[in-house]
């Protein structure tokens, strides 16, 4: 019989965690210790969520350029036990057995992470969704950094720069990472450099996300 750990939400309802979730929460795999990220040389980095809004996940990947296998997947997660366990398990899934090919990694669904964890409480399913999105963002960053703009996935996002396939979500992430001006965002993304017609919309998005997360100045 599997051991379980209990949790309780704000309404007082109880829910259960599996042994696997417990293992990945108390002994997370592939965690990048706070402070090490400055010197970590990754091929792609993806960030979803915001500490101001609750859970945030950051994933770094290293890719074998010849095989397109993910050789390393490091991460940091700010949030609940489910968020930590989900990201830990995802990092194992994409690096085990000599690494998972990018095309296969892009097909990972939140249900796949939950299955490997032995399930999650219904109110915690969003945590595995965040992990899936963070991995996709890291792979997109790898595509962008390696000049493979045609492979960038833009599901649910509006493309702002057609040439580089940069989306409104990319600009939002840049603002969350500290960009405040057009110059700041262009230093990170090169957005609008080859598509100057997009600059007015880029400026509007920077203002919108800055006010959304940091308030009007």
Domains of the chain: 5-148 (3.90.1010.10), 159-214 (1.10.10.1100)
List 4, 16, 52, 53, catalytic entry: 53
pLDDT classification of 63: cutoffs 50, 70, 90: very high
Beta-carbon contacts of residue 11 (< 8 Å; ≥ 6 apart): none
120-148 tens-digit pLDDT: 665 555 555 677 888 999 999 999 999 99
| Whether residue 49 has pLDDT greater than 80 | no
Identify which has the larger pLDDT, 73 or 155: 73
**Which tokens go with 89?**
């398990």
What is the reported pLDDT for 75? 93
10-38 tens-digit pLDDT: 444 344 777 888 888 888 999 888 767 77
* Residue 128 CA from chain centroid, whole number: 11
The dihedral built from the CA positions of residue 104, 118, 21 and 177, taken in this order, carries a sign that is positive
| Whether residue 198 has pLDDT greater than 60 | yes
What is the reported pLDDT for 39? 75
CB 7 within 8 A of CB 14: yes
List 42, 93, 117, 127, catalytic entry: 127
Residue 156 has phi, psi (to 5 degrees) of: 70, 10
What is the reported pLDDT for 129? 62
DSSP summary character for residue 32: -
**Which tokens go with 84?**
């930590």
Measured CA to CA, the distance from residue 23 to residue 18 in angstroms comes to 9
Measured CA to CA, the distance from residue 90 to residue 96 in angstroms comes to 10
| Whether residue 61 has pLDDT greater than 90 | yes
Measured CA to CA, the distance from residue 35 to residue 198 in angstroms comes to 36
CB 36 within 8 A of CB 92: no
**Mean pLDDT for all residues in the chain:** 83
**Which tokens go with 184?**
């700041």
pTM above 0.75, yes or no: no
| Whether residue 191 has pLDDT greater than 70 | yes
**Which tokens go with 144?**
């962008």
CB 74 within 8 A of CB 10: no
| Whether residue 90 has pLDDT greater than 90 | yes
Select from 128, 122, 124, 121 the least CA-distant residue to 93.
Answer: 128
Q: Known catalytic residue: 53?
A: yes
What is the reported pLDDT for 206? 95
Mean pLDDT for 188-212 is: 91
What is the reported pLDDT for 117? 84
What is the reported pLDDT for 127? 56
What is the reported pLDDT for 120? 65
């Amino acid at each position: 019989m599997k051991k379980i750990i209990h949790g309780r939400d704000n309404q007082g309802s109880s829910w259960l965690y599996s042994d696997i979730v417990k293992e990945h929460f108390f002994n997370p795999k592939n965690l990048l210790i706070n402070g090490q990220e400055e010197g970590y040389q990754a091929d792609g980095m993806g960030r979803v969520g915001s500490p101001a809004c609750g859970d945030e996940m950051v994933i770094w990947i290293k890719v074998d350029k010849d095989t397109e296998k993910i050789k390393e997947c490091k991460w940091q997660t700010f949030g609940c036990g489910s968020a930590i366990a989900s990201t830990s398990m995802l990092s194992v899934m994409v690096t085990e057995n000599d690494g998972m090919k990018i095309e296969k990694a892009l097909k990972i669904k939140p249900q796949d992470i939950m299955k490997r964890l032995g399930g999650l409480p219904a109110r915690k399913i969003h945590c595995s969704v965040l992990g899936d999105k963070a991995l996709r963002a890291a792979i997109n960053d790898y595509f962008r950094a390696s000049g493979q703009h045609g492979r960038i996935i833009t599901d649910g996002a509006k493309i702002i720069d057609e040439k580089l396939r940069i989306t409104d979500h990319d600009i939002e992430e840049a603002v969350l990472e500290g960009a405040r001006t057009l110059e700041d965002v262009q230093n990170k993304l090169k957005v609008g450099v080859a598509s100057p017609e997009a600059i007015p919309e880029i400026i509007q998005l920077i203002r919108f996300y800055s006010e959304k997360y940091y308030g009007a100045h």
